[in-house]
Structures are given as structure tokens and as C-alpha cells.
Amino acid sequence: MHAIFCGTEAYPFTVEKISKLREEVENAKKDQTLRSILVSSSRDYLITNDRSKVSVSNLEGKIVALYISCNRDCCSELSPILVQIYKKLKEIGESFEVVLVSLEDDESYYDEAIENMPWLAFPFNDKSCDKLFCYFGLQEYKCSTVILIGSDGKTMNVDLIELIKEYEFEAWEAFPFSQEKLHELSKKVKARLESQTLESLLVLDDLDYVIGKNGLKVFNFLLNI
């Protein structure tokens, strides 16, 4: 647990103080709810990309992905696929929401980032962002993380980032990210890979040939000889 992300609550940053703080965090997790994670004493809302306020109560009962990003370089690889998954799940009416937890200290970049996002976010420089980094025991070097919160408000044991890396857009099919749905997706992808043939990879409708180095067409049936 790093003092830089635990804020003044860890002062004077002794082993005893940090151990006590860690114990308090573990006790808080036992009674965790969505509100205990997202609401502070001064704020009970999140914001949209146009700065509209959305009450946290609107998210209760949904599966919520906390997209925790430490800096501007974290979002470039993951965000586009997560956006596709988010829009797909919204399109088919699933109870799913993404909340950006940004630790970005440059307000101009923060403004630019949320303008292009379809989901909700903590306001800029909200103190709860650092607390959540500490609460979930994240490491400073791991610049982006997605924490899934179940419909019951408890943390789910699913690594959505690894799921996206493995299945890309297809990861949406594992929603609500239960072990059963994860197993079904794994079986589906495995079966598809096992059934692949050279023809299934190279042929598309009437396009049953490839182009050789000399520019001549090489038809699929010749490749199978």
C-alpha cells in the first residue's frame, strides 16, 4: 500500500498507521455496497461527457465496471474495444455501466478524455479516486485496471482487461461475466478454432483464390493438393 495513493489518512505513514488503514479497508470490503464505493460525503453523483450529473442510485442493481486510469497513456489500447462492448451491451438492454476513475492531474487532458467517452466518470480531481486506488490495493506501475462490481455491490473475481485481451470484442458475450458464461465463451471460441480449415480462412463467397507473386490467381482447390 503506497502512501502517495492513500492520502492524508495514512499520515504519518508509519508501518502501524498503514497496517491500521489496511485493516479498516478490509473491514469496509465486508460491508461493501455500490454506494460505499461511489458516494462521498460531498457527492452522490457521477458526471456524463456533457457534465450532466447522474445519481449513483441509478446504477444500483447493475454490473458496474470501474475503469481506473492513472495517466493519459493508459486508455489508448483498451478504450476502443471497451467502448464497443459497452455500446453493444447497452444496445441489447443489459444492466451494465462503466465509470471512469481518472487519476489524471492535467484538467485539460481530463476534459478531452471524457468528451470522447460514452460512459460516466468521477469529477476531475475527486478525492475518492485516490482512495479507490488504495482501497483496491492497486499498484502504481499498473496504469489501467477494470474492477467489476456485481449487481449486489460486491467486487467480482473477473479480470475484464485480460478477458478483452483474449477475446477482444467477443468478450461481451460473457456478460454478466459469471463463471458459466465465461466457460461458454471459451468453449465457443475453442470449437471455432478447431473447426477452421484453410478454405474457411481464405474463401469468402466467390473469392476462392489468392494472388501469387506473378499476379496470377491461385485457386483454393490447388492449395489443398
Give pLDDT tens digits for 178-225: 999 999 999 999 998 887 665 555 555 566 555 666 666 555 544 454
Q: Which residues of 17-27 are buried (b: 16+ CB within 10 A; e: fewer)?
A: ebeebeeebee
Q: Any idea where the domains of the chain sit in the sequence?
A: 32-174, 178-225
Render each residue's pLDDT in the chain as its tens digit; 225 residues: 344 445 556 555 577 766 777 777 777 788 899 999 999 999 999 999 999 999 999 999 999 999 988 766 555 667 889 999 999 999 999 999 999 998 888 899 889 888 889 999 999 999 898 888 878 877 654 567 899 999 999 999 888 989 999 999 999 999 999 999 999 999 999 998 887 665 555 555 566 555 666 666 555 544 454
The closest alpha carbon to 99, from 86, 81, 80, 112, belongs to 86
DSSP letter for 116, please.
T
CATH number corresponding to 32-174: 3.40.30.10
Residue 48, classified by CB atoms within 10 Å of its CB into exposed (0-12), middle (13-18) or buried (19+), is middle
Rounded alpha-carbon distances, angstroms, from residue 184 to 106, 189, 190, 208: 42, 9, 10, 32
DSSP state of 207: B
Q: Are strands 120-121 and 96-102 parallel, antiparallel or unpaired?
A: parallel
For residue 129, how many other CB atoms are within 10 A of its CB? 21
HEC assignment per residue over 27-77? HHHHCCCHHHHHCECCECEEECCCCCEEEHHHHCCCEEEEEEECCCCCHHH
Nearest to 134 by CA among 18, 12, 14, 33: 18
**Cα(62)–Cα(153) distance, integer angstroms:** 9
Q: What predicted TM-score, i.e. pTM, was given to this entire model?
A: 0.78
